[in-house]
Every structure is written in C-alpha cells, then in structure tokens.
Amino acid sequence: MTDLSNSTPLAPPRSQWLSVWDQLKKHKGALMGGSFLLFITLAVLLGPFVWSLDPQKIDYRSRDFRPIYHLLFDADAKAVWGHPLGTDQLGRDGLANILAGGRTSMAVGWSAMLLTLFIGTLVGVIAGYFKRLDGPLMRLTDLFLSLPILPLLLVAVTLFRQPLRANFGPEGGMFILIVAIIGITSWMPTARIVRGDVLALKEREFILAARSIGTQPGAMIWRHLLPNVISPIMVSATLGLAAAIITESALSFLGVGFPSDFPTWGKMLADAVQRMEEFPERVMLPGIAISMTVLSVNYLGDGLRDALDPRIRGR
C-alpha cells in the first residue's frame, strides 16, 4: 500500500492490459517462471536441431551410460561426452530423449490443459450465471464425473483412431485423440469450482450495480465475473498441466497412447522407475523437467493473478 502515489492521477489513462503487464514485469516469481518456460520451450523446439542424435536410435553397445557429471566424483564412471546425460537400457541417448520427450509432453500438456480450462470455465460460468442452465449443466458434469475412464478411452480409440490416422498421420492423429481424451475427461472439477465462485459473486453488490446499469450478460461475464474467478482458474491450470503430462504416460500404459518408441517425459519417468536405485538420473531428469515446468507455470499464474487484481496492482 506504500506505492499508492505511483498511480498519479495526472498521468493519461492507460490501457488496463498495459498496467497488468507492468505489474507482471515486477513480479519476481512470474519473471523467473516465465523465463524458465521460455527457455524450456525453446530448448525442446530448437534443441533437436543442435543435438541431432536420433532419440529412437538404439545402440546396444553403448547402453547404460551414466550422465557426464558422474565423472566429477567417480573417475571410472561409465560416461562419455557423446552422451552427456547418459543412455538408457537399450542405448538410446538421454539428452535427445529429454528434448524429444519434452516436445511431446509440452504440446500435450499445454493443449490438454487449455482445452480443459476452456470447457471447464465455459460450463462453470454459464451454469453459475444462468440459473436455468445450472441444473442441466451440473447433471452433465455429474455424468462425466461418473464415466469410467478406461472403457471411454477404448471406445474413443476404436471409433476415432482410424479416421484420425488417415487424416493426420499415426502420430498427429494420436496427438489429437490424446488431447481430446484428456480434455473431455478432466474439465469437471474446474467447472464445479468456477460455478461455485460465480454463484457467490453473482450476489455481490458490484454485479448488482453493473446489472442495474444494463450491462449485457456477455459483457458481465467477460468484464466482471471472469477476472474475479481468475485465481481458481490459475490453480486449475497449474494442476491441470501436471496432470495432463502424467495422464499422457498413463495412457501409454493402457495401450492407448503414442507408439511405444515415441518418447515423452511421463513415459521416460515410468520406464525408469524399475531401475531407480541403480540409475537415479533416469527418473530425476524427466521428473525435474516436469516439476520445473509445473512450478514455473504456477509462479507465472501467481504473478498473473496478482497483476489482474486492481487492489494489489500498483502496490
């Protein structure tokens, strides 16, 4: 509250989003999170061009190499600069796999998370705001919450794999299928949380005031309701990203994920669990990659939430 003087009334009126951006820039966590996200995104996008080893290439003779840092404390460690992060039990390069796996995991994670948020927020806001739609939409949510996921997956695969594969190729088709499946099976908590908040907000004085000056429902939702439910949505986003990355690997276990030679972080983590005592790096690397990504989204979300709150903004 000390910086109240900053927002000098003499300055010309600024766009709301510009000041949000200004505030975000000042948020240390958001800045760090954002730059890490940018780094990891660039790394997985451009990395494979710099580090051109084929992640799927099996070289059985050079299997079970340790990461290069092992040389620091063990001069005899089986490590070479050719495989700075070591190799797995079939001799596939660790670094190439992290990069290639990150590409898939980030793509799946972000798309599925955005889809989840979109459906969840849409259903939640509509159900909360329009009393008449509340009942049907919430019963629909109950229905989706009750559906057993494995049969649902199997049905989706049976019905849609062939047409998607014909139109988008084996990997592209699977990508769409996986994102859609994660999206439509995980929007319900977001919807219920957003609805709960909207139900409470709707009765607040400022909404009443806005309504009394004739604000249309669309504008009401967009300008007054959404900015006020942003914090649970942000939490859903962070948790949703982590959940999507992990769920993707669970799908491969059930045999409905990507082809088995297609690396993803979740799958690398799952494959390495059996050998975590001898080769801890194989669980650590994808584990850290996932956690760091999720953490940085979390900090970015924190920053965004603070920046969007006019009471905190300018503090």
Please pick, from the candidates 38, 42, 147, 219, the single residue that binds other proteins as defined by CB under 8 A: 147
Please pick, from the candidates 9, 12, 13, 148, the single residue that binds other proteins as defined by CB under 8 A: 148
What is the C-alpha to C-alpha distance for residues 295 and 306, in angstroms, rounded to an integer? 17
How many residues bind other proteins (CB under 8 A)? The answer is 81
Residues 6+ apart with CB under 8 A from 62: 80, 82, 83, 87, 91
What is the C-alpha to C-alpha distance for residues 109 and 263, in angstroms, rounded to an integer? 14
Does 19 bind other proteins (CB under 8 A)? Our answer is no
The region of 44-52, 75-83, 146-154, 215-223 touching other proteins under the rule CB under 8 A is 146-154
With tokens 């939702």, the residue in question is: 221
Does 89 bind other proteins (CB under 8 A)? Our answer is yes
CB of 272 to other proteins, least distance (A): 9
The interface with other proteins within residues 26-45 (CB under 8 A) comprises 29
The region of 8-16, 17-25, 142-150, 179-187 touching other proteins under the rule CB under 8 A is 142-150
Complex with other proteins: residue 82 or 135, whichever CB lies closer: 135
Does 150 bind other proteins (CB under 8 A)? Our answer is yes
Please pick, from the candidates 152, 180, 184, 226, the single residue that binds other proteins as defined by CB under 8 A: 152
> Nearest CA to 184 among 147, 129, 216?
147
At position 42, the amino acid (one-letter code) is L
Rg of the chain over CA atoms, in angstroms? Answer: 23
Residues 6+ apart with CB under 8 A from 125: 194, 195, 198, 221, 225, 226, 229
